[in-house]
Amino acid sequence: MIPFTDLYAQYESIKDEIDSAIKECITDSNFIKGKAVADFESAFAKYIGADHCIGCGNGTDALEIILKSLNIGRGDEVIVPALTWIASAEAVNNVGAEPVFADINPKNFTIDINRFEEKITKRTRAIIPVHLYGCPADMNEILAIARQHKLFVIEDCAQAHGAEYYGRKVGTFGVAAAFSFFPSKNLGAFGDAGAIVTNNAELANSARQIANHGQLNNKHRHLVVGRNSRLDSLQASILSVKLKFLDEWNSKRRNTASSYIARLKVSAGLQVPLSEDNKKHVFHLFVIRCKNRNAMIELLNEKNIAWGIHYPKAIPFLDAYAYKQHKTFDFKFAGILTEEILSIPIYPEISEEHVNAICDQLLKYQ
Ligand SMILES: *Cc1c(COP(=O)(O)O)cnc(C)c1O
């Protein structure tokens, strides 16, 4: 059996440090807003190269809190790529605004810059580019269009911790960025966790306030109606340990991706991810394309190799968005690609033998 990911293997590789961080946190018993949270927030801000980091409950909350901080709500529209995890769109609905979907570029699975501008209306306030699978979106073009139309750019970095665009980490291009530390993300907690990063001090204050019942520095002084979405000290202390290994883990993912690409690119039946200049892809997922996906899945099942589909349906075609009455041809690429994509195992601890066994099996596909 070759698993899709192996979180226990990752824990074992740093067990002593994790165990003592957890123990220290319990000894301290400051489970909410403890020192561990502030320490992680400053370490992560420094790692990304942003001025502020605000821990919160999860990546979906991070997006929602950013939208609220920017006063985006009822009557507003936010442009979201048609292929992403549902959270990128859900957050928009949950602040009362309307997500407007744009197709993706089949070359890199991120929002198609040529399909973005035509979605802009008088109501559009922001765009949420998603660095899907760990691949940076085409930020220069996105920022240029956004600037021209005075739109906020909110980066969804949930799959792209440490990814770079022209040598700069993603999460530093827009007005703010949302990160998820869901356990299987490139940087993952032992439960739900998330963070907002920004260089905008005003937005940082507002986000911190919203995430903590409207309080900023003074307890019982509720300046706005907020909510409860906090990063807890235990998760923060685990994340601080893991952050030190993130670059090493990302380079292992990138090495695995190179091995896959080197061996699989010769196959006429499947297409491997394209490498693009000036983008450092961190391969949260390794996604291939194939016309006859079922045949490929059968080959993997034969050898007990785990696989996934990210995602089986483009967001506009999910039941939750049936109210928008979209047709397949509204999103040509997102529509086609969801029939052809297949994610194969990639994680820092995967062995060379397993990578070779997966390639051997995939190369049987004609
Ligand atoms: C995981 C993910 C999120 C949401 O993160 P949670 O922490 O699970 O709420 C948002 N966007 C994308 C693209 C994701 O992959």
Claim to verify: residue 182 and residue 250 sit in the same structural domain? no
Distance 143 CA to ligand 1 centre (A): 22
Nearest CA to ligand 1 atom 14: 158
Q: In this prediction, what percent of the chain has a pLDDT beyond 90?
A: 95
Span 252-259, mean pLDDT?
98
pTM value is 0.98
Helices 35-48 and 15-28 sit at what angle, rounded to 10 degrees?
A: 130
φ, ψ of residue 201 to 5 degrees: the values are: -65, -40
Structure confidence by residue, pLDDT tens digits, 178-230: 999 999 999 999 999 999 999 999 999 999 999 999 998 888 999 999 999 99
> Is the CB–ligand 1 distance for residue 129 below 6 Å?
no
> Is the CB–ligand 1 distance for residue 87 below 6 Å?
yes
Nearest CA to ligand 1 atom 5: 59
Claim to verify: residue 136 and residue 147 sit in the same structural domain? yes
> Is the CB–ligand 1 distance for residue 60 below 6 Å?
yes
Q: How many domains does the chain have?
A: 2
CATH classification at residue 226:
3.40.640.10
What pLDDT, on a 0 to 100 scale, did the predictor assign at position 218?
Answer: 84
Which single residue is written with the structure tokens 């821990």? 55
- 259-292 core/surface letters (b: 16 or more CB in 10 A; e: else): bbeebbeebebbbbbeeeeebbbbbbbbbbbbee
Structure confidence by residue, pLDDT tens digits, 139-177: 999 999 999 999 999 999 999 999 999 999 999 999 999
- Establish if 133 belongs to a structural domain: yes
Claim to verify: residue 293 and residue 232 sit in the same structural domain? no
- Establish if 204 belongs to a structural domain: yes
* Containing structural domain, residue 27: 7-243
Q: Which two tokens stand for residue 354?
A: 């397993």
What pLDDT, on a 0 to 100 scale, did the predictor assign at position 92?
Answer: 98
Rg, the chain, Cα only:
21
Which residues 6+ apart lie within 8 Å of 285 measured at CB?
Answer: 133, 134, 159, 308, 310, 343, 346
| Cα 279 to Cα 140: distance, rounded to the nearest angstrom | 12
pLDDT surpasses 80 at 366: no
Distance 358 CA to ligand 1 centre (A): 27
Distance 265 CA to ligand 1 centre (A): 30
> Is the CB–ligand 1 distance for residue 156 below 6 Å?
yes
Structure confidence by residue, pLDDT tens digits, 312-338: 999 999 999 999 999 988 999 999 999
Atom of ligand 1 nearest to the CA of 130: 13
CB atoms within 10 A of CB 195: 31
> Is the CB–ligand 1 distance for residue 99 below 6 Å?
no
- Establish if 2 belongs to a structural domain: no
CATH classification at residue 334:
3.90.1150.10
Q: What is the mean pLDDT of the chain?
A: 97
Claim to verify: residue 219 and residue 250 sit in the same structural domain? no
Distance 60 CA to ligand 1 centre (A): 6
| Cα 75 to Cα 96: distance, rounded to the nearest angstrom | 8
Best CA proximity match to 339, nearest among 358, 320, 317: 317
Distance 195 CA to ligand 1 centre (A): 11
pLDDT surpasses 90 at 344: yes
> Is the CB–ligand 1 distance for residue 64 below 6 Å?
no
Residues 11 and 350 sit within 8 Å (Cβ to Cβ): no
Residues 110 and 137 sit within 8 Å (Cβ to Cβ): yes
Full strand arrangement of the beta sheet holding 168-169 = 168-169, 164-165, 279-280
- Establish if 101 belongs to a structural domain: yes
